[in-house]
Structure 1
Amino acid sequence: MKKRKFILYACLLYVFLAGISWKAFAQGVNNNWHFGTYNEISFNSGTPVFTQNSAVSTFESSAAVSDENGELLFYTMGARIWDRNGTEMPNANGLLGNGPFNGGIAAGSGRNNVHIVPHPGNPDQYFVFSAAAIETPGGKAYYHVVDMSLNGGLGDVVPGMKNIEIIEAHGREAYTVTRGICGTYWFIGSMMTSPVSYYAFKIDENGVHQNPVITYVPYHNMADIGPTEITRNGIAISASSNNVMMADFDQQNGTFSHFQLFPNGHTGQYLELSPNHEKFYLIHYNKIWQYDLDLYPNVTGIAATALNLAPATSPLNVTYEDLRQAPNGSLYAVRLNFNNQFLESYSIDKINNPDASIAGFSLNALPIPQNARFITFGSSVLPRQQINKIIHPQARLDTVICKETAITLRSPYPDYSYQWSNGNISPQIQVSQSGTYWVISKSTTDCTWYIDSFKVRKQEPVNIDLGPDTTICKGDTAHINVYQAGIEHYLWNDGDPGFEKNITEAGTYHITVQQGGCSYSDTLKLKIIDPYFRIIPDDTVLCKGDFLRLNTESNMDNQVQWDNGHNGPSIEINAPGKYSAIAQNLCGQLSDTVNIDPVNCHCKPEIPTAFTPNGDGKNDVFTPLLRSDCALKDFEFSIFNRYGTKIYFSNTAGAGWNGTYSNQKLADNGVYFYLVKLSNNYGNTEPVIYKGQVTLIR
């Protein structure tokens, strides 16, 4: 049988892997750091512990690997390899790379030049990559193979498997390791070719492929590419003294594409990713910049998220030299402290919660001895991938098609390749019939095939119907019965579990029933009507000789009968009296009555032609006379002299002029002119004007 394991699921099982950092998965492999001059940090106790018990001696690059439980296996600076006891491995003599060499001892002056990679085809073996420092001409890179089954389990370099040259020239201190697909890795170097290029060497179960995949960089101002970090999603970030560059890395074929440069002003020396790979951190002398990768491929937007976490200092006093992600999820930074441009001391700072939008920063997070010397923490190791893991299902999920004509079945594994039982190759399919369906989800990262099966049962739908929205009369009851054989549960929106309901209040009534694992529901909106019926207008008056239309108003559909025998919603009358109507409707019988009184709507004043205001009590006041039943709306009475000057005015019906001016001076005998303007309350309400002359005689 092939090495690929078919992981069989009896039902749908979701295994959440996407959120686990590559460097955190089997995180024990990075629990012990060996770096600088005899320095070691152990994370096995949960709290990092700094000691100087290591045998390592290197100016810059180093690497150490532990097993999954955090037990140290070995460490190296490329040209030297020590076992877990600090003893150089027997066959580790004469190793090349990471010089320069002085008296046969390598200084370890290469930056990012040493990496340890698990052998995908042999669980006991590791590749140790060691590249020449920039001070060493040629730019070569080598690898050695360490086998932990040798030397009594302490490990040794496999005879004939050391100083294997994979880069013969043009290498620079800028190497990285990232994952490929199906348990493979890529060892990648940025090359000082023209134009600048990436050399990517595939590492699989057969070992290190000697022929690199070459990608040329389209930018001349990236000639001094420094470190490169690649996320689990294949986003590559490279830094140089001139710019920051991003690209897509294909984990299957090892190529870079879609290169983009950051806007001017963004440069740096050293990079590190946050644990969830959604942010990256960039050292630029005395600053540590945080960038948000969620906006990729919008590099301008990513650049705009730049946030310096380091405290404000002068680059003459502080320089940061390295960042490394620790097993506890924090990032640790190497800080060099200067006094008058002379290196005075070393410190370790920490970025807390580096996945957060705004990470925290701690100065002197890890106390170290005064004599400690180091520039970097060394390279991290990508854990060995488990490709033969069988996961047993923990739950069972049957799917039911209820009232839908089809449902969607989805593979629980995003970004895989798929093969469904019906031949479909998409992540999901639509099914409309009962049956058993399965999907093979093929991982593109660890070569595991997951088979998930779905048992689908189509339930015959239940027709639950409360009827159309309706209205009942106030005081009546709406009776609803939705009983059907086979229905298991009834539930109204008011918590009533019965199938029968008597409703006396307005509202929205919703019922949900369950049968065979399916739910069905219906809604009824019920209105309560309080019927009314009235004649309009209400009690009123009728001008003699006029007509009046009486109408009816109601919130019901009515059959109306008047007491005069007329049928219909309105009648026209021409005489005063009492009028009644009876309405028949769904809610019963309603009635109303109005009284119509007669009124004089045609007021015409009687106006004398002369008056004698001599104080004898007879005909002393000139007054327009109106009948007592006259229903006036407005009244105006004015007197003018022969010159047209208004000498008297009143708007009170029944008032008159006594023959004097406003200053009580007696008016002279003679002819005066009057104007009477009035309007009626009913009938014709337009103003009517009466004018003429009157003679004043004393």
Structure 2
Amino acid sequence: MKKLRHRHLLLLLVCCLLLGGSVGAQPGFMNTQKFLKANSMWALGDKTGLNFNVSPPATFTSALTPATGGMNIPGLLYVLGNDPLYGTSSVADRQGQMLFYTDGVSVYNANNLVMPNGAGLKGGNPGELSVLIGNSTLQSTCVVPFPKDTNRYYVFVLNAKEDELNIMPDPLTYSIVDMRLDNNKGNIVTGSKNLVLDTNALSGAMIAVQGSNCDVWLLVHEYGNPVFKAYHITEDGLDPNPVLSTTGNQLQGPAVCNIACSLLGTPLGPTFSTLDNMAAYGTRTTMSVAPNGRLLSVANFVPFCLTGITYGVSGVLLCKFDPATGVVSDGIVVDENLQTASVAFSPDNSKLYMVHNSVYDSLGNGTAVGFPIIQDMDSVTISPYAYYQLLQYDVSSYNATTITGTKTIIDDNVKTSEFSTLRLYNDKIYVNNDPGAFTRGGDPTGSSVWLGVIDKPDAPGLGCAYNPKVIPLPDKLFYTFPNQVVFAPDPDTTGNNYKDTLVCSAHLNGAFPEGVVLTAASGFDSCLWDDGSRNPVRSITGPGKYWVINFDRCHSRTDTFIVRHIDISFDLKDVVSCYDDSVKIDVNIPDPGSYGYQWSTGATEGSTYVKGSDPVWVKLTKESCEASDTAKVHVYNFKQDLGENKVFCMNDEISFILNANIPQGAPGVAVRWSTGDTDPSIRVTDTGTYTVVVRSEFCSGAGSMNVSRELCECYAVVPNAFTPNSDGLNDVFQPVVQGGCLLAGGSLRIFNRYGQLIYNGDDILKGWDGMHNGKTADVGTYFYELSFEAGTHHKKHYYKGSLSLVK
């Protein structure tokens, strides 16, 4: 008998639990001791520095001096004169001892001396009014240690194009410092100085961002185009071909700077009258990275404008960064009305802080008062202080409108300069709170330079605990903090990742299925299995413990697979309904209580009842494994009904056919009659009981019929005398009825010669015993009436006559 059954083999590899921990896992790179120590010595401008190896940070003396040129108005402002020093970088060793620092022009060793080959770097913006103002690129330098090398460092120097008057040669160059040179005080390697990396116009933003594979990305931004350039630094060297990413609104360039005039005119004179038409000079741009290395921000500031020229407001650009590929994407603008030169992320990556030129908001037309307002160079009007707002934004939504709506003013009266920067270090954000950048000595509270601190930058709103005056600094001229030093991640090993791997199969009777494979983790260069094989895909033949080590040049990871096997094997057999009624179907499987059941009938137990010929299926589940099977219900009617028993009259002929019921389509049917016949039909010619049994492999049915004879009609003889003398002979008057005759409805009445009824009975076979009124009746003649039905045909008989009672 053909069965309709659905089976399937399910190979399910479920890695459902990581039980292990990490060995040497990297925290957020800004919180590693390696990063904190390397960035613990901040070389600032005007021979000033900060040592963060002690608490509170202490000042130290550096060799850095402000840029020179132009004219200095003592006691009031540094303008066209000793310009603050921007864009420094400094790096310390793993104990926090200074190694070297740079201003983009020279590289100084820990003894504050220019390295023997350390002078003559291409910093200082020589094309941008250098006769008047010195280096003004806020992130003009960046130091990146060689990956997997504790002695060598890249020193990148950026000369930004910050206005239309600026024509920059070799915008991006680099040199290589080897700390083993000059008796371990360090020097620039001969032949590795001022190497040109990019000749295209760039903005003033340059930072290093940690990659995800023991590498570092150096990020810069084109001037005039919304294009990021990511230079890849690996242990194999510096790739001169950057990854290009176009995203976000352009935040610097001619669209913002809007140069409207030139410096044509007579040479500078005492009245400065020829500068009446001078427009804004140079935008200031910086870039920041979140501690997770996956968010970037670009800030832009147009520093000042002269008569009739207003600020260019451009907001802050927020982008996503992929440390694996160097791609910058999904740029959005945070609050288009922002004027800020620097931003900083909170340690948890959710907040963005900045110092905003609030004067733009208050005047509405963007007129700058933070810098001198020069209406007439013969009569200089100078704002005594620069007032700004310290703002906080929640960027966790990464939606421009939502972010703008989270704006919180932390401090509405920050006294600082337009170009002062913020920097995250050791879970705090430091603010250069310098109101005297243009009005030295004008702060009545004492020192004009303070280090402000946001103590809890992860907290929303005023809970961030900003204190504008935490550390007093010498009354020195500087605007920006040094660029941060970013290391490539150290090689790390993640071990003991136990993966509970469940292999499911169905209907294999416990055998482990073929074709089961384990796969090493993706994203690695190679792997090694416990059996010595190196193919990423490994076939296995049974349950057990298997491990693989995954490698690349930066990471290794051990995965241990605990392989278990569950085979759900059962045979849902076809069922037969022998009498076209409900039939029970069972799942025969060991330990049936450990499975879940779902039948097509809706039942959820190990068995169900079905009726009809529709196929029935069941699905069994155990943990994450499942198996199903389908059975057909064969419906046959094996009922044998030979009919009612037959009765023939005594003299009638017996002859008829009995037929067995043979179910249509039933296989292997056998018939056997009680007569010994095996044909489906027999002829009956005699009395008796006839039985038939019809059998098959699955069903049987039986039936029977009784054939008999009977007296259909019969007769009665009535005597004409009797002798009720108790001699046992003819003592009762009764009719003599044919033996075996069926009697019904009888009546016997006796009358005397006077017509009186002396006996009335309904049992004619009992008869009259001659008694009347308790004694034997007199001898004489009597009369009787006898009626009854006789035979199976119930023929009515009626007799009357006389009888004699004789003694």
2:139 is equivalent to residue 141 of structure 1:
no
Of 342, 352, 355, the match for 2:455: 352
Q: Equivalences for 1:96-495 in 2 at 5 Å?
A: 96-100=122-126, 107-120=134-147, 122-132=149-159, 134=161, 137-138=167-168, 140-193=171-224, 195-217=225-247, 219=249, 223=253, 226-231=285-290, 232-240=292-300, 241-285=313-357, 286-296=388-398, 298-309=399-410, 311-313=411-413, 321-326=420-425, 328-337=426-435, 344=442, 345-357=448-460, 358-369=463-474, 371-387=475-491, 389=492, 434-438=543-547, 440=549, 447-455=554-562
2:91 is equivalent to residue 84 of structure 1:
no
Deviations 1:183-238 (A, max 9, x none): 22122221114x33222222222322222233334635654582222333522222
2:20 is equivalent to residue 12 of structure 1:
yes
How far, CA to CA, are the matches of 2:247 and 2:237 in structure 1?
Answer: 27
Note closer, same or farther for the CA distance 1:222–1:192 as it changes in structure 2 (3 Å cut): closer
How far, CA to CA, are the matches of 2:459 and 2:519 in structure 1?
Answer: 30
How far, CA to CA, are the matches of 2:395 and 2:136 in structure 1?
Answer: 31
How far, CA to CA, are the matches of 2:248 and 2:117 in structure 1?
Answer: 43
Paired residue secondary structure (1:211)? coil
Q: Structure 1 residue 293: deviation in Å?
A: 3.2
CA contact 2:437–2:478 (8 Å) conserved in 1: no
How far, CA to CA, are the matches of 1:353 and 1:150 in structure 2?
Answer: 42
2:49 is equivalent to residue 40 of structure 1:
yes
Note closer, same or farther for the CA distance 1:450–1:418 as it changes in structure 2 (3 Å cut): same
How far, CA to CA, are the matches of 1:265 and 1:295 in structure 2?
Answer: 20
Q: Structure 1 residue 262: deviation in Å?
A: 3.0
Q: Equivalences for 1:492-511 in 2 at 5 Å?
A: none
CA contact 2:178–2:186 (8 Å) conserved in 1: yes
How far, CA to CA, are the matches of 2:145 and 2:493 in structure 1?
Answer: 21
TM-score w.r.t. the length of structure 1 is 0.54
Note closer, same or farther for the CA distance 1:404–1:362 as it changes in structure 2 (3 Å cut): farther
Q: Structure 1 residue 334: deviation in Å?
A: 0.7
Deviations 1:294-343 (A, max 9, x none): 222x232222222222x32277x8757111122x3211111221599777
How far, CA to CA, are the matches of 2:524 and 2:395 in structure 1?
Answer: 22
How far, CA to CA, are the matches of 1:404 and 1:291 in structure 2?
Answer: 54
Paired residue secondary structure (1:85)? coil
Deviations 1:482-534 (A, max 9, x none): xxxxxxxxxxxxxxxxxxxxxxxxxxxxxxxxxxxx9xxxxxxxxxxxxxxxx
Paired residue secondary structure (1:303)? helix
Paired residue secondary structure (2:412)? coil
CA contact 2:160–2:201 (8 Å) conserved in 1: no
Q: Structure 1 residue 451: deviation in Å?
A: 1.1
How far, CA to CA, are the matches of 1:361 and 1:414 in structure 2?
Answer: 45
Note closer, same or farther for the CA distance 1:441–1:236 as it changes in structure 2 (3 Å cut): farther
Paired residue secondary structure (2:481)? coil
How far, CA to CA, are the matches of 2:392 and 2:481 in structure 1?
Answer: 20
How far, CA to CA, are the matches of 1:386 and 1:257 in structure 2?
Answer: 26
Q: Which residue identity lines up with residue 312 of structure 1 in the other structure?
A: D
Note closer, same or farther for the CA distance 1:416–1:237 as it changes in structure 2 (3 Å cut): farther
Paired residue secondary structure (2:421)? strand
Q: Structure 1 residue 381: deviation in Å?
A: 0.6
CA contact 1:319–1:337 (8 Å) conserved in 2: no
Paired residue secondary structure (1:354)? coil
Paired residue secondary structure (1:88)? coil
Q: Structure 1 residue 403: deviation in Å?
A: 14
Paired residue secondary structure (1:226)? strand
Paired residue secondary structure (2:404)? helix
Paired residue secondary structure (1:22)? helix
Q: Which residue identity lines up with residue 374 of structure 1 in the other structure?
A: F
Q: Structure 1 residue 455: deviation in Å?
A: 3.9
Q: Structure 1 residue 107: deviation in Å?
A: 4.2
Note closer, same or farther for the CA distance 1:318–1:78 as it changes in structure 2 (3 Å cut): closer
Deviations 1:673-695 (A, max 9, x none): xxxxxxxxxxxxxxxxxxxxxxx
Paired residue secondary structure (1:51)? strand
CA contact 2:161–2:223 (8 Å) conserved in 1: no
Q: Structure 1 residue 38: deviation in Å?
A: 0.9
Paired residue secondary structure (1:93)? coil
Q: Structure 1 residue 48: deviation in Å?
A: 3.3
CA contact 2:160–2:204 (8 Å) conserved in 1: yes
How many residues in Structure 1 have an aligned counterpart in Structure 2?
A: 436
CA contact 1:350–1:362 (8 Å) conserved in 2: yes
Q: Structure 1 residue 354: deviation in Å?
A: 1.5
How far, CA to CA, are the matches of 1:447 and 1:269 in structure 2?
Answer: 35
Note closer, same or farther for the CA distance 1:262–1:201 as it changes in structure 2 (3 Å cut): same
Q: Structure 1 residue 176: deviation in Å?
A: 1.7
How far, CA to CA, are the matches of 1:33 and 1:86 in structure 2?
Answer: 13
Deviations 1:365-390 (A, max 9, x none): 11223x32211121111134312x56
Q: Which residue identity lines up with residue 57 of structure 2 in the other structure?
A: V
**Structure 1: which 5+ residue stretches go unaligned?**
1-9, 462-517, 519-698
How far, CA to CA, are the matches of 2:485 and 2:91 in structure 1?
Answer: 7
**Structure 2: which 5+ residue stretches go unaligned?**
1-17, 67-84, 257-283, 301-312, 358-387, 443-447, 507-517, 569-622, 624-807
Aligned to 1:693: none
How far, CA to CA, are the matches of 1:221 and 1:382 in structure 2?
Answer: 25
Q: Which residue identity lines up with residue 163 of structure 1 in the other structure?
A: N
How far, CA to CA, are the matches of 2:438 and 2:130 in structure 1?
Answer: 33
Note closer, same or farther for the CA distance 1:436–1:373 as it changes in structure 2 (3 Å cut): same
Note closer, same or farther for the CA distance 1:414–1:266 as it changes in structure 2 (3 Å cut): farther
CA contact 2:340–2:354 (8 Å) conserved in 1: yes
Note closer, same or farther for the CA distance 1:95–1:420 as it changes in structure 2 (3 Å cut): closer
How far, CA to CA, are the matches of 1:14 and 1:276 in structure 2?
Answer: 21
CA contact 1:272–1:325 (8 Å) conserved in 2: yes
Q: Which residue identity lines up with residue 234 of structure 1 in the other structure?
A: R
Paired residue secondary structure (2:413)? coil
Note closer, same or farther for the CA distance 1:25–1:415 as it changes in structure 2 (3 Å cut): farther
Q: Structure 1 residue 256: deviation in Å?
A: 2.2
CA contact 1:39–1:50 (8 Å) conserved in 2: no
Q: Which residue identity lines up with residue 12 of structure 1 in the other structure?
A: G
Note closer, same or farther for the CA distance 1:33–1:423 as it changes in structure 2 (3 Å cut): same
CA contact 1:143–1:166 (8 Å) conserved in 2: yes
TM-score w.r.t. the length of structure 2 is 0.47
CA contact 2:248–2:330 (8 Å) conserved in 1: no
Note closer, same or farther for the CA distance 1:178–1:314 as it changes in structure 2 (3 Å cut): closer
Aligned to 2:93: 67
Paired residue secondary structure (1:82)? strand
Note closer, same or farther for the CA distance 1:72–1:276 as it changes in structure 2 (3 Å cut): farther
How far, CA to CA, are the matches of 2:38 and 2:493 in structure 1?
Answer: 22
Note closer, same or farther for the CA distance 1:414–1:335 as it changes in structure 2 (3 Å cut): farther
CA contact 1:282–1:290 (8 Å) conserved in 2: yes
